[in-house]
Amino acid sequence: MTLLCVDDEASILRTMQRLFRNKPYEIVIAESGEQALLIMQEQPIDLIISDMRMPGMDGPTLLEKSAQLYPKMCRIVLSGYADFESTVAAVNLGKINRFINKPWNNNELINVVEECLESIKLKKENNQLKLKISQKNEQLKLWNQELEEKINLRTKQILASLKRNERNNKATEKMLFNFIAINSNLNGDFAKNVGNLAGRMASKLGLDKSDINDIRLAGFLTEIGMLGLDEKICTTPYNLLNYDQKTEFLGQGKIAQQILSPAHHMNNVLDMICNQYESLDVIATLGNNVAQQGSRILRVARDYWRYAYGKIAPEKLEYRHVCIELNKGKNIKYDQELLGILESNPELVEDGVVEQGINSQQLLAGMLLKHNLYSTNRLLILAEGHEFSESSIDKLIEYEINQKHIFSIVIEKFTNQQKLIKD
pLDDT at 414: 58
Domains of the chain: 2-125 (3.40.50.2300), 166-349 (1.10.3210.10), 360-414 (no CATH)
Distance CA 299, CA 104 (A): 78
204-225: b or e for each residue (b if 16 or more CB lie within 10 Å)?
beebeeebbbbbbbbbbbbbbb
Low-confidence ranges of the chain (pLDDT < 70): 81-95, 162-169, 171, 351-356, 378, 413-423
Cα four-point dihedral sign 173, 178, 179, 185: positive
E strands, 263-357, in order: none
Helix axes 252-260, 106-165, angle to 10 degrees: 30
Distance CA 300, CA 248 (A): 21
112 exposed, middle or buried (CB, 10 Å; 0-12, 13-18, 19+)? buried
Distance CA 174, CA 170 (A): 6
Distance CA 217, CA 195 (A): 6
166 exposed, middle or buried (CB, 10 Å; 0-12, 13-18, 19+)? middle
**Residues near 23 by Cβ (< 8 Å), separated by ≥ 6?**
110, 114
Between vectors from CA 283 to CA 280 and to CA 288, what angle results, nearest 5°?
Answer: 150
Query: Parallel, antiparallel, or unpaired for β 380-382 and 373-374?
Result: antiparallel
**Residues near 334 by Cβ (< 8 Å), separated by ≥ 6?**
280, 296, 299, 300, 303, 326, 327
0.75 surpassed by pTM: no
